């Protein structure tokens, strides 16, 4: 019996080694193991529980705008280290590492594109770069895309996937981006412009407290985590159990914070329809 057990263990170990790494992804919602090729084919939506995995900014653009129409604006802007922030590690080193890993200079892409033949100004944040936190470059790019949309009289679409809020390594320079983006949106609104805000998993903190919730229509993907502070922090602070589904898209729709929940596969079609309804 010992020999048999030893052989079984060896066979199991050999089989485990023969399975290449990186072929499967575990759903953070239902723990289902998903074959990566199948996950990509489903637009990175869990086939079991419909959880929408985060996408990169480039992936978002590919699903949202007409192919080959995106023209990037302000891609030359890159973050500095005005506070010489060094705890727990130098900010300048962290930025270089994030740029090398993500292939982006900062946590958002902005520019213009066409969506079903309609010109739009668009911004997309990317949670891979310091959790999509809003530093001075992110705020400046978003402000500029809003201002250009106001001048060109085209609608603005911003897709938020930012779990990091304002970037503490830039201090007040980061916090002021909340007011700056909000001010640009007020000018857009005064000129009769249209702003469609799309919230994805996760959209949190300073991003949610500023431009992300100022849309003429606020649209969310299903089951996205949306809030200012995470639920675990809130529970530990108030020492109470939060309601089921708290800070998820469905809960926020029920309580009036957002206007629509749209599945990823239907998002482009819905945006085109809304642009048509608003005459944009």
CATH of the domain at 158: 3.90.226.10
Q: Is 113 found in the same domain as 58?
A: yes
Percent of the chain scored above 90 by pLDDT?
A: 43
Look up the pTM and report it. Answer: 0.84
* pLDDT at position 136 over 60: yes
pLDDT digits (tens, 9 = 90+) for 43-59: 888 888 888 888 889 99
Q: Is 25 found in the same domain as 106?
A: no
Between 12 and 38, where is the model more confident?
Answer: 38
Q: Is 149 found in the same domain as 16?
A: no
Across the beta sheet with 156-160, the strand order is 71-72, 108-115, 118-125, 156-160, 195-199, 217-220, 260-261
Q: Is 58 found in the same domain as 27?
A: no
Q: Is 154 found in the same domain as 46?
A: no
Closest C-alpha among 23, 1, 5, 22 to residue 13: 5
The helix or strand, by DSSP H or E, that contains position 26, with its residue range, turns out to be strand 24-26
Q: Is 2 found in the same domain as 120?
A: no
Mean pLDDT lowest for which of 127-131, 183-187, 249-253? 127-131
Average pLDDT rounded to a whole number, residues 26-52? 85
Q: Is 12 found in the same domain as 145?
A: no
Contact between 140 and 77 under an 8 Å Cβ cutoff? The reply is yes
User: Terminus-to-terminus CA distance in the chain, angstroms?
Assistant: 75
E strands of 69-225, at which residues?
71-72, 108-115, 118-125, 156-160, 195-199, 203-204, 217-220
Q: Is 108 found in the same domain as 23?
A: no
- For residue 144, the model assigns a pLDDT of 96
Q: How far, in Å, CA of 112 to CA of 4, rounded?
A: 65
Q: For residue 9, what pLDDT band results from cuts at 50, 70 and 90?
A: low
Between 256 and 50, where is the model more confident?
Answer: 256
* pLDDT at position 21 over 70: no
Q: Is 7 found in the same domain as 119?
A: no
Q: Is 114 found in the same domain as 46?
A: no
* pLDDT at position 231 over 80: no
Percent of the chain scored above 70 by pLDDT?
A: 92
* pLDDT at position 40 over 60: yes
Q: How many Cβ atoms from other residues are within 10 Å of residue 261's Cβ? A: 17
Q: Between β-strands 260-261 and 217-220, what pairing exists: parallel, antiparallel or unpaired?
A: parallel
Q: Is 142 found in the same domain as 91?
A: yes
Q: Which two tokens stand for residue 198?
A: 């799309």
Between 148 and 204, where is the model more confident?
Answer: 148
Between 116 and 246, where is the model more confident?
Answer: 116
Domain boundary among 14, 33, 51: 51
Between 216 and 238, where is the model more confident?
Answer: 216
The total domain count for the chain is 2
Domain boundary among 25, 51, 77: 51
Q: Is 112 found in the same domain as 22?
A: no
Beta partners for 34?
A: 25
Range of the domain at 30: 1-51
| 126-to-55, 98, 110, 163, 244 alpha-carbon distances in Å | 8, 11, 11, 10, 28
- For residue 85, the model assigns a pLDDT of 86
């Amino acid at each position: 019996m010992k020999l048999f057990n030893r052989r079984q263990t060896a066979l199991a170990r050999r089989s485990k080694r023969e399975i290449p790494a990186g072929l499967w992804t575990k759903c953070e919602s239902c723990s289902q193991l998903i074959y990566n090729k199948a996950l990509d084919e489903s637009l990175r939506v869990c086939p079991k529980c419909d959880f929408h995995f985060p996408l990169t900014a480039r992936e978002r653009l590919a699903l949202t705008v007409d192919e080959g129409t995106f023209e990037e604006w302000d891609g030359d802007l890159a973050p500095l280290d005005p506070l010489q922030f060094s705890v727990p590690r130098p900010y300048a080193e962290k930025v270089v590492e994030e740029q090398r890993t993500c292939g982006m200079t900062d946590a958002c892409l902005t520019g213009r594109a066409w969506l079903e033949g309609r010109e739009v100004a668009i911004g997309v944040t990317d949670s891979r770069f310091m959790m999509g936190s809003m530093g001075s470059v992110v705020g400046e790019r978003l402000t500029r895309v809003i201002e250009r949309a106001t001048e060109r009289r085209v609608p603005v679409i911003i897709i938020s996937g930012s779990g990091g809020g304002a970037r503490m390594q830039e201090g007040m320079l980061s916090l002021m981006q909340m007011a700056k983006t909000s001010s640009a949106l007020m000018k857009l609104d005064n000129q009769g412009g249209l702003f469609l805000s799309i919230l994805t998993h996760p959209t949190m903190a300073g991003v949610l407290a500023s431009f992300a919730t100022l849309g003429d229509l606020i649209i969310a993907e299903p089951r996205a985590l949306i809030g200012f502070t995470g639920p675990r922090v809130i529970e530990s602070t108030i020492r109470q159990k939060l309601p089921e589904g708290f800070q998820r898209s469905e809960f926020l729709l029920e309580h009036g914070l957002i206007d629509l929940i749209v599945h990823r596969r239907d998002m482009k079609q819905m945006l085109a329809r809304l642009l048509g309804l608003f005459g944009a």
